[in-house]
Amino acid sequence: MSESTGKTLRLLFPQWQGGNNPPYHFGSQLLAWLAPKADGPVEEVPVAAPDDAPLALENGIVGRSALLAQAAAARALIDKHRPDRLVVLGGDCLVDLAPFAYLNERYDGELAVLWIDAHPDLMTPAQFQHAHAMVLGNLLGNGDADFVNAVPRPLKAQNVLYLGLHDPSEWEAAEIQRLGLGNVSPSLLAERGSQPVIEWFKATGARHLAIHFDLDALDPAFFRGLLFANPTTPEGAFDGVAQGQLSMGQVVEVLSDLSASADVVGIGIAEHLPWDALALKTMLTRLPLIGNCR
């Protein structure tokens, strides 16, 4: 992949309230530990660790006030550095709200966004209660007014492409069509490789690219750190919900090919749920000497 120039800020963002899923907090921390050492500044968005208190439903969104405060804190850290490039390690998908809003301003509205995801993330409180499924809609200027206000310059719909999206709901499919968003489905990727993505980027006329990578775009049969691979979930709990169909190799190949013509200025990685590591962490706290037992 092409080398970056200018200041790159790495933002650690262990947000879990957007999906109301506490393991996202640990998943983000482990992701930050696994990532190669940063060459530039690193900041962590302050996020309260999960506890047993339930999150409130506020104006149709679970945990709304905490999420808005965290988005504002993320933007403040970004503005502190005014970076040319951003790496975001989350946390739920909403972690990319403030960073991608900043990048679209930084590059005068000429930012292209590749949204690697099995789901559209276009919901509003009228369809869903969890804000992690609303983030792309917010970035396009739709949804809850306070989240939309965090995006002073909305993305251009023609500058957004899905990679890995399949089987959206009827409402989602209609919204995708209304907005005119493109998609390279898993089947199209298997048939044509990176070429449709490269063609889309060239057609946007943009020079700069941000990449949202929701790990649930990956096939849970081969990567288990995902919501759908939770070993404690009852059989059939996710029936009717699209699950990822991409491989890590496919994603790496597309991004490597794309970076030959695109100036990659942002990447956000979200929704890491390392069930085995979490189970081991929990077990260690219950062992003699090392854990809480004495």
Q: Is the pLDDT of residue 3 over 80?
A: no
The model's pTM is 0.96
At residue 174, the pLDDT reads 98
CA angle 122, 166, 159 (to 5 degrees): 50
Weakest mean pLDDT among 142-146, 180-184, 225-229, 234-238: 234-238
Q: Is the pLDDT of residue 293 over 90?
A: no
Residues 6+ apart with CB under 8 A from 164: 116, 117, 118, 184, 185, 186, 189, 217, 244, 245, 246
CB 91 within 8 A of CB 22: no
Residues 6+ apart with CB under 8 A from 203: none
Query: pLDDT-derived band of residue 5, with 50, 70 and 90 as boundaries?
Result: low
SS (H, E, C) 68-131: HHHHHHHHHHHHHHCCCEEEEEECCHHHHHHHHHHHHHHCCCCEEEEEECCCCCCCCCCCCCCH
DSSP states along 113-182: EEEE-SS-----TTT-S-GGGTHHHHHTT-S-HHHHTT-SSPPPGGGEEEES-----HHHHHHHHHHT-E
At residue 292, the pLDDT reads 78
In the chain, pLDDT over 70 holds for what percent of residues? 98
Residues 6+ apart with CB under 8 A from 281: 26
Where in the chain are the domains?
8-108+115-155+208-232+264-284
Given CATH 3.40.800.10, say whether it is the number of domain 8-108+115-155+208-232+264-284.
yes
